[in-house]
Amino acid sequence: MSADNTPSFHERAVAEIQSIPYGRVATYGQIAARAGNPRGSRQVSRILHSSSRKEKLPWHRVINAKGGISLPPGGGYELQKSLLRDEGVEFDERGLVDLERCGC
């Protein structure tokens, strides 16, 4: 981590993820674009996995651009859904989050 004065993609993305308030969600594209790479949405997921192991990142607040869970069933899909619901996030009948309300 170049914590000197080099705002890397990694720490930038982690900061954005941690900046997500309660009851709010963010998409990969939003975080990636804010981090400095509009095409680095893939890396965001990697950071969620990597940093969340040591840092307690609200990975459950990170969803895809459709407002849904990109995780496979049994891999954390219903788990994240429950976490978001516990925060007050409204889910669609299809399991989609209201990006108009929580899409910061």
Partner DNA sequence: TTACTGACCTTTT
Partner DNA sequence: AAAAAGGCCAGTA
Q: Which positions lie near DNA, rule CB under 7 A?
A: 1-2, 8-11, 27-29, 37-43, 45-46, 48-51, 53-54, 59-60, 62-66, 69-71, 76, 80
Nearest distance from C-beta of residue 55 to DNA, angstroms: 7
Cα dihedral sign for 31, 39, 100, 82?
negative
Taking a C-beta distance cutoff of 8 angstroms, is the pair 34, 49 a contact?
Answer: no
* CB of residue 92 to DNA, shortest distance in Å: 14
Nearer to DNA, 66 or 88 (CB): 66
Measured from the CB atom, the residue of 49 and 88 that comes closer to DNA is 49
